[in-house]
Amino acid sequence: MEAKAIKTKKYLSKEDIKKHLSNVEYIIMAAPAPEHFKDTPIHFTIFLNTQDELPPEIQKAVLDKFRDEHKIKEPAELMSQLMPVGFAISTSQDTPMPMLLVKPEDQRSIPFEVMFVMDFLADSDEFDEAKIKQLTGWSYSYN
């Protein structure tokens, strides 16, 4: 079964992103991993609401906290760095969907805010929507 991409055409403006993030601590997103990653079936992205470059020991502590809270097994393909993040608006979702803007053309055309992002593949029995139902979801944590 192939996951369907979430179609988005509307994005928060730079000003709306700043307002939107004013009380956000972090956002965690879970999506199905590409099929050939059998041992790590979930693609996790943690968006930390900071523009600070986090030292390795802080990154490890943050990742360990998320792993403990969400029973996430050993991560693979870990990428941790400051990244541009846009926010897509969909009428079917309560909160805007965070989107890593990797392509230069997306960075030029979609408003974004820089956030510290931890992106990795892993497994967890707490994310059946992504693992079994092949759905993408995200959750906001507020200060």
- Predicted confidence (pLDDT) at residue 86 exceeds the cutoff of 50: yes
- Predicted confidence (pLDDT) at residue 52 exceeds the cutoff of 80: yes
Q: Taking a C-beta distance cutoff of 8 angstroms, is the pair 51, 115 a contact?
A: yes
Ordered by start, the domain boundaries in the chain are: 10-142
CA–CA distances in Å: residue 76 to residues 31, 42, 44, 84, 114: 15, 10, 10, 22, 24
Neighbours of 92 (CB within 10 A): 5
pLDDT of 31-44, one tens digit each?
999 888 889 999 99
Q: Answer yes or no: pTM beyond 0.85.
A: yes
* d(C-alpha 43, C-alpha 136), whole Å: 9
- Predicted confidence (pLDDT) at residue 91 exceeds the cutoff of 70: no
For the segment 89-111, the average pLDDT, to the nearest whole number, is: 91
Q: Residue 8: pLDDT band by 50, 70, 90 thresholds?
A: low
Percentage of residues of the chain with pLDDT beyond 90: 85
